[in-house]
């Protein structure tokens, strides 16, 4: 046992709190170490002074007064503890909530008809309805938001209708997929994928 191990055990040795093995090792160390013996003697003197000192009379309600004077203990709820333990997950959750609220507000506020696609020359818009007339060809994807789509001609790509409806005649030909998005979460997923596609195009 060296001094670093012995010093923390001196108080327990004086209190009689060491096991027999620890007490034996400490005694063996004290026999060979003058510094630790001197430190033990100082502790013994200090303890003797403490035992000899008689404290002044203490009022019976002193403990109660001290406890009342202390500030109230702040209790942290489970959410606070989770945030402290998992900061990365907390940031990700806040980001997801912000994105979702942004999407939901856009879903509720955006009621304007929007038509998107690389080839819109053959598209006819009347009121809230978008027409692809018979004999017309739209080359590429066609997206309609907040409106109706009537396809009588050809669309050489995918058709996406958001918060609306799609109808196509027997003469219509759509070479891609038809996606109709009415639910908020489906719409949010579509918007997220579109945003990620734009980000990857920029890179």
* DSSP letter (8 states) at residue 177: -
Sheet holding 114-116, edge to edge: 114-116, 142-145, 159-162, 178-181
- Over residues 54-82, the pLDDT tens digits come to 666 666 677 777 777 777 766 666 766 77
User: Structure tokens of 131?
Assistant: 């027409």
Strands (E), the chain: 114-116, 124-126, 129-132, 137-139, 142-145, 148-151, 154-156, 159-162, 165-168, 173-174, 178-181
**Tens digit of each residue's pLDDT (9 = 90 or more) over 124-182:** 999 889 999 999 999 999 999 888 999 999 999 999 988 888 998 888 899 999 888 77
Q: Is the pLDDT of residue 201 over 80?
A: no
Quick one: CA torsion of 122, 125, 130, 136, rounded to 10 degrees? -20
Token code pair at residue 124: 């006819």
Of residues 193 and 185, the one with the higher pLDDT is 193
- Mean pLDDT score, 96-106: 69
pLDDT category, 109, cuts 50, 70, 90? low
């Amino acid at each position: 046992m060296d001094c670093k191990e012995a010093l923390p055990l001196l108080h327990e040795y004086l209190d009689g709190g060491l096991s027999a093995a620890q007490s034996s090792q400490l005694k063996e160390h004290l026999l060979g170490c003058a510094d630790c013996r001197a430190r033990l003697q100082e502790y013994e003197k200090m303890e003797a002074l403490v035992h000899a000192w008689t404290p002044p009379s203490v009022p019976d309600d002193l403990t109660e007064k001290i406890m009342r004077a202390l500030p109230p203990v702040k209790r942290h709820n489970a959410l606070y503890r989770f945030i402290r333990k998992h900061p990365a997950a907390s940031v990700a959750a806040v980001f997801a909530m912000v994105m979702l609220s942004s999407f939901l507000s856009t879903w509720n506020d955006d009621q304007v008809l929007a038509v998107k696609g690389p080839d819109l020359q053959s598209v006819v818009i009347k009121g809230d309805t978008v027409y692809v007339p018979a004999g017309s060809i739209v080359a590429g994807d066609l997206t309609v938001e907040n409106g109706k789509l009537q396809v009588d001609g050809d669309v050489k790509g995918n058709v996406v209708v958001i918060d609306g409806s799609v109808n196509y005649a027997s003469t219509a030909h759509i070479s891609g997929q038809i996606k109709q998005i009415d639910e908020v979460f489906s719409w949010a997923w579509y918007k997220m994928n579109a945003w990620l596609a734009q980000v990857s195009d920029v890179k």
